[in-house]
Structure 1
Amino acid sequence: MTVLPASSSLGRAWTRSVAPRTRVAAALAAFAVIGGTVAVAVGTSSPATAGPGTVVVSENFSAGSLPAGWRAVDGTWKVENGRLHGTSAGSGENNKITFGRHLNDFRLEATMRFETVSAATRWASLGIDVPADGATPWWIATMRSGTTAANGLEFAQRTTANAWVVTNTASAPYAAGTGRDVRVAVEVHGNQARWIFDGREVMRTSSLQRSANGVQALFVNGSTVSYDDVVVTELPANGYIRPEGSPLTVIAHRGASAVAPENTLVAQEIARRGGADWIENDVQPSRDGIPFILHDGTVDRTTDGTGNIRDLTAAQIKTLDAGSWFGPHYVGERVPTLAEQLADLRTRGGNLLLEIKGKHTRDEVATIIQVIRDEQMMGRVFVQSFEVDALRYTFELAPELPLGLLRSSLDADPVAIARELHLTAYNPDGNALLAKPEVVAPLHAAGVAVMAWTMDSAGLWQRLERIGTDGVITNRASELVGWNSALMQRASAEPTVEITSPANGARLDRAQSPVIAVAATDAETVTVTLDGRTSASGRRLDLATLIAGKHTIRAEATGPDGTATATSTFTVTVTQAGLGYLILTSGADPGAITMMATRLAHAQYAELATYADRQAGKLVPAEVASVIAADARTLALK
């Protein structure tokens, strides 16, 4: 499922860009959407002490102790070797450390590594909204060590009753396992968030229930996990611009109007189950001023009644059958009030793109806004209209609500009118947009999203995606959800590469002879270097010719959809046993081998070094003689 993103992310320090973008298939290669739901968040005011782009937390634990302001609520938390280590002995221990401060729109990212786990089902988490004292309820973005499981990644809440509510699950493109660094991030906008695994967006949610003062946190459960490079960045409140590689936001036109009677609660439910990010519906008042969900000016087409909606009372409208016209299965469906629709979204999930239909007075707009406030849905409603006055009234009465201007044809200067009306999105007819796609870039540069209506074919979706459209209003919402998923899966063919031997951080002595092993997927070519010189996967390392100290293997995999790299640094150590192996396999004169082995056995390292130097190129091959001499001098200093 997708949403009006404030969304998607790229790599370690991804930040949302509103610069002009050209969308091409190659740009999608860095992403894979593997499941879950999404939506965007409408932000409330941010703390006055920060603003978009402000780095609120940046910690690499180089000081060697817990940073000031970090609160180890439970469990064992300590800084070792420049990383924060958290330990939880059992599955019942949800140990946490809190930090940061309350933010409505932010990105939390960290490098995580499972050091040990009691089982592949155990997990670690980024805390999204957690009381500073760790009390429930709290929300987390969770990663299991077995991340390729169907629930390898989750959005979940721990309730005040200490029960779990898992709202979304997904699988990662590969297993985190143990001993492997994974860069993860969660991007939050109000009640909505995106889960980003090693630079790939894998899941979204619109189900967060935010507190007034929750902060950020790290969690461990049944494992020991180390964290590094923890960064919290405040983001712009407008999260509707679709970042590179993120799928189109799916907006269900009048609910699931292709398969259910439009603008009814059953159409809303079907659209929600089908994965739509937003429900698009129309609002108009009854004669007695109650806002109802109806598209036409009359009830004639979509109910068994007749007459203008503005001439009928709420009681009269409530007697009408709004389902039988569509099919016998829907007999008895009613025209919902705006309050009923919002209550359904609030309790069952979802967000509303609400069109104020036709001319409305300021008082009528005020009534609509009051209903939204009463239903506690100000953070989950986006208002759009063809009527400029309706948008002006909305901004005057509720400037925190995002606004979209509907257009049948494009304005001469969309950016100018967007600024004049304080628009969050410019929402033109999709065909008009495709006729003039160059308007997308300047709108994005001005921080304005673009949502096209009403487009119902895969060919049109593809064209809209390529020009950078952010969201699509469609009668075929579930099909667009599937199209998005297929597109992201195709884009996930980005190559991967991993150096499996020698392992990163390995310490090897001269007696060992490891083989360089590289695993790659979706790659046409793989190149390997050792200390910058060409090498190859499958090559056996001759540690007799390497100087003592650190050496780096680098692998690069290149495929049709991009390039991936990996490095592994190992250390050649100097030991007496390793030096003995070096001497015995040196190819030196037998007498020289006996002489050097005797000095080694008696720990006469300085004499051994001098002898190797003197016999270099004579009784001892020159190349190996220099290594023997260097190792002997190292041992002499120990």
Structure 2
Amino acid sequence: MPITHTPARSRRATMLGAAVLAAAVLPLTIAAAAPENVPENASATAAAPAATAPQPGDVVVDEDFSSGRLPDGWTTVEGQWAVSGGRLYGTSTSSGQQSRITFGRHLADFRFEATARFETAADAARWTALGLDVPADGAVPWSIATMRTGTTAANGIEFAQRTAANAWNVTDTGSAPAAAGTGRDVKVAVEVHGGTARWFFDGREVLRTTRVQRSADGGQALLVNGAKVAFDDVRITALAPGGYLRPAGSPLTVIAHRGASSAAPENTLASDEVARRAGAEWIENDVQPSKDGIPHVLHDDTVNRTTNGTGAIRGLTAAQLAALDAGSWFAPQYAGARIPTLAAQLDDLRTRGGKLLLEIKGAHTRDEVARIVQDIRDHGMTDRVFVQSFEVDALRHVRDLAPELPRGLLRSTLDADPVAISAELGLAAYNPSDAALSARPGVIADLHKAGVALMVWTVDAANRWQSLEAAGVDGVITNRPAELVGWNSAFLQRPAPQPPAAPTVRITGIADGATLDRAQTPLAGAAATGADTTVLSLDGTPLADGTALDLRTLPAGPHMLRAEATGAGGKATASTAFTVAVTPTGLAHVILTSKADDNAVATLTTMLAHGHWKQIAQWADNQAGRGIPAAAAKTVVADANTLAGR
């Protein structure tokens, strides 16, 4: 995007500003805020899926440009696009030219990945982008995920929209841990689920958004601005709806408990706004009905704690609830905040952005659940609401009434078989307390294998965030969303984990190609790095590291020492060939150390001094097992015959 645009608030700035927001503006500004470019109901406006709609895991586009020409179905809209040397090259000759080529098909849930390389760029602000929702003719509006050559800048990575008025709306900005620069291949990817997306740079998440503008029929595209970019290995893969499992390289999903309840009065539009501005992806709120059956956002079964009124919520009408002050108890500046109806909260989310993790609080009848579902549908929010509850019956009602709504089961203690109950209820997530999960962390892998995410409640301490992230938890429900967003930002700045180094190994004690006689006693060993195990063998027989080789017992001729090291980075092998040579010195050593009787030793050494090899062989063979141990006699006979034949 042109560098003259008004930048969206960076995630880091948003986090730092959350405390200020909590103390100032919210009750007066929420209702008047301008709406975001968020569709009322992407699923309602989308074209009906064709009978041949891709299934999760299907690869819709897989192009390596080996044909030497533009692929069929790829449409050049603007700029220069050509295939050469197994790459697609896109060129934009000025910062005002949004060169683009369209392809693919409309998908609600997909992963878009490619290898991109800037060949040239007018400056560090020039960019290339993956088009996430672009009409086939390239006309506005469209939505993209952008990467500048200067990716380490505060706006080096962006999610943006080109609006119907042909203007930029940059919704989210961030930075990558390394510069794309020019001449460097960068593996980029974006995972899209409806209006939600995650940006990956060389395998690590660098930015996420809940504000992708979707259309009824937009496909994918590649874009270039003020640069020449080479593309390869473009792939579009259909994904399952939801995307609640945390992808590799991504930090924890941030879920604001009752909104940003540590910074604003819980379960109010004010706390929702603080959470949204802090960068929370989900706002968790509670819902239960008033006396006249209107769903309201409140945690307790009475209004006593969080308002200036008293009484059970189910005993008060919507009009009575609307008159209560739900903000003064928290701080004076929130005086006048109200208990929102579910309808008001959905309106706020629809116009200002964000997703709702909605807890059905306490026992509900089927009709009461039906009213909640009706509100969600009437506001076009079925694609941005996730329902959870401790009440199994409430989840069953949701499943029957609105199977399109994802469901999560809240638990204070784990079920005997979390996978089984998840399957029974058709859960997208199993949501235990931190204490419950700590007792049986092994269920994380079991649930993930079944495709079920874990959203753990309610965790406010960084040391626990670290433990839960390492354990593989997908999301954390927290009273401190701004702090968790900040912790995630630090997580993203950590050096990328490096794959384990391949092990190395070498043979010690004997040089490759060495010729040894029987008088020598070399130590055979192996020196390895990066190995968990090292196995040494001589002629295929395992050998302990550091073994002194007894060359008196080895056959004359070639032998092979081999070492194999195995570690997390793979395997490595080394080998050394050596030869046992027959020499008079070696034969003398065998005779003198053979434990033969004195007469045999004297006789053999006398013959050896005169070089009588044949006589040595004959005499040793005659004395084998009597004056000379059989094994030693065998070697003496063989070596003497060898020397006789020279």
Normalised TM-score (structure 2): 0.69
Alignment of 1:141-160 (within 5 A): 141-160=145-164
2:90 alignment partner in structure 1 = 86
How far apart in 2 are the matches of 1:53 and 1:221?
32
- Pick the aligned partner of 2:193 from 177, 181, 189: 189
CA distance in 2, matches of 1:246, 1:120: 26
Distance, in Å, in 2 between the alignment partners of 1:290 and 1:460 is 38
User: Structure 1 regions of 5+ residues with no counterpart?
Assistant: 1-32, 498-523, 526-560, 564-638
1:208-357 to 2 correspondences below 5 Å: 208-357=212-361
What code does the residue aligned with 1:473 have?
Answer: I
Post-superposition offset of 1:459: 2.4
Q: What is the distance in 2 between the residues matched to 1:329 and 1:199?
A: 44
Amino acid at match of 1:366: A
Separation of aligned partners in 2, 1:493 and 1:467 = 16
Alignment of 1:104-503 (within 5 A): 104-492=108-496
Q: Is the contact between residue 14 and residue 277 of structure 2 (CA under 8 Å) also seen in structure 1?
A: no
Match of 2:59 in 1: 55
For the 8 Å contact 2:258–2:283, the answer to whether it is kept is yes
Q: Distance between the aligned counterparts of 1:121 and 1:47, measured in 2?
A: 40
Distance 1:119 1:246 in 2: 30
Match of 1:67 among 53, 58, 71: 71
Taking the aligned partners of 1:188 and 1:84, their CA distance within structure 2 comes to 23
Letter in 2 for 1:424: A
What do residues 531-589 of structure 1 show as CA deviations (whole Å, max 9, x unaligned)?
xxxxxxxxxxxxxxxxxxxxxxxxxxxxxx999xxxxxxxxxxxxxxxxxxxxxxxxxx
In 1, are the aligned partners of 2:126 and 2:226 still within 8 Å (CA)?
A: yes
Work out the CA distance in 1 between the residues paired with 2:349 and 2:492. Answer: 27
Q: How does 1:600-611 map to 2 (within 5 A)?
A: none
Report the alpha carbon displacement of residue 273 of structure 1 after superposing the two structures with TM: 1.7
> CA shift at 1:46, angstroms?
6.3
Give the drift of 1:245.
3.7
Does the 8 A contact of 2:111 with 2:190 survive in 1?
Answer: yes
1:95 to 75, 94, 99: 99
Cα 1:34/1:47, change in 2 over 3 Å: farther
Q: 1:35·1:170 contact (CA, 8 Å) conserved in 2? A: no
| Preserved contact between residue 204 and residue 249 of structure 2 (Cα < 8 Å) | no
In 2 relative to 1, CA 451–495 (structure 1 residues): closer, same or farther, beyond 3 Å? Answer: closer
SS for the counterpart of 2:78 is coil
Query: Quick one: distance in 2 between partners of 1:491 and 1:64?
Result: 38
How many Å separate the matches in 2 of 1:228 and 1:245? 22
Tell me if structure 1 keeps the 8 A contact 2:295–2:372: yes
Higher deviation after alignment, 77-86 or 240-249? 240-249
Measure how far apart 1:48 and its partner are: 4.3
1:615 is matched with: none
Check the 8 A contact 2:92/2:99 in 1, yes or no. Answer: yes
2 CA distance for matches of 1:47 and 1:177? 41
Query: Which of structures 1 and 2 has the larger relative contact order (alpha carbons within 8 angstroms, sep 6+)?
Result: 1
Task: Say how many residue pairs are matched.
Answer: 467
**8 Å Cα contact 1:109/1:185 also seen in 2:** yes
Question: Alignment partner of 1:437: what SS?
Answer: coil
Structure 2 CA distance for partners of 1:367 and 1:274, relative to 1, 3 Å:
same
Q: 1:493 Cα shift?
A: 7.0
Kindly indicate whether the alpha-carbon contact (under 8 Å) linking 2:136 and 2:218 is maintained by their aligned counterparts in 1. Answer: yes
CA distance in 1, matches of 2:173, 2:399: 37
Matches within 5 A, 1:15-54: 48-49=51-52, 50-54=54-58
SS at match of 1:326: coil
The change in CA–CA distance for 1:115 and 1:103 in structure 2 (over 3 A counts) is same
Deviations along 1:489-528, whole A, 9 cap, x unmatched? 334475999xxxxxxxxxxxxxxxxxxxxxxxxxx99xxx
Judged with a 3 Å threshold, the aligned counterparts in structure 2 of structure 1 residues 480 and 182 are, in CA distance, closer, same or farther, namely same
Q: Is the 8 A contact 1:152 1:169 kept in 2?
A: yes
Mark the structure with the bigger radius of gyration.
2
Q: 1:355 to 1:205 in 2, by over 3 A?
A: same
| 1:137 alignment partner AA | P
Give the superposed CA RMSD: 2.6
Change (3 A) 1:254 1:562: farther
CA 1:250 to 1:562, structure 2 compared with 1: closer, same or farther past 3 Å?
Answer: farther
CA contact (8 A) 1:43 1:189 kept: no
Contact 1:155 1:205 survives alignment (8 Å): yes
Query: Residue 61 of structure 1: SS of its match in structure 2?
Result: coil
Name the TM-score, length of structure 1 as normaliser: 0.70
Letter in structure 2 aligned against 1:87 = T
- In the TM superposition, residue 432 of structure 1 has moved relative to its aligned partner by 0.7
Deviation of the 1:484 alpha carbon: 2.4
Instruction: Give the Å deviation of 1:109.
Output: 0.9
Q: CA deviation at 1:76?
A: 1.7
Determine the C-alpha separation between the residues in 2 that align with 1:63 and 1:245: 33
- Superposed displacement of residue 463, structure 1: 2.3
Question: Shift of residue 91 of structure 1?
Answer: 1.3
Distance 1:492 1:70 in 2: 35
Shift of 1:36: 9.3
Residues in 2 aligned to 1:283 and 1:447: alpha-carbon distance in whole angstroms = 27
Partner of 1:597: none
CA separation of 1:562 and 1:300: change in aligned 2, threshold 3 A:
farther
State the Cα distance separating 1:238 from its structure 2 match. Answer: 3.6
Q: Which amino acid is the alignment partner of residue 221 of structure 2?
A: A
Residues 384 and 303 (structure 1), Cα distance of their counterparts in 2 relative to 1, 3 Å cut = same
Judge conservation of contact 2:500–2:569 (CA < 8 Å) in 1.
Answer: no
8 Å contact kept, 2:177–2:493: no
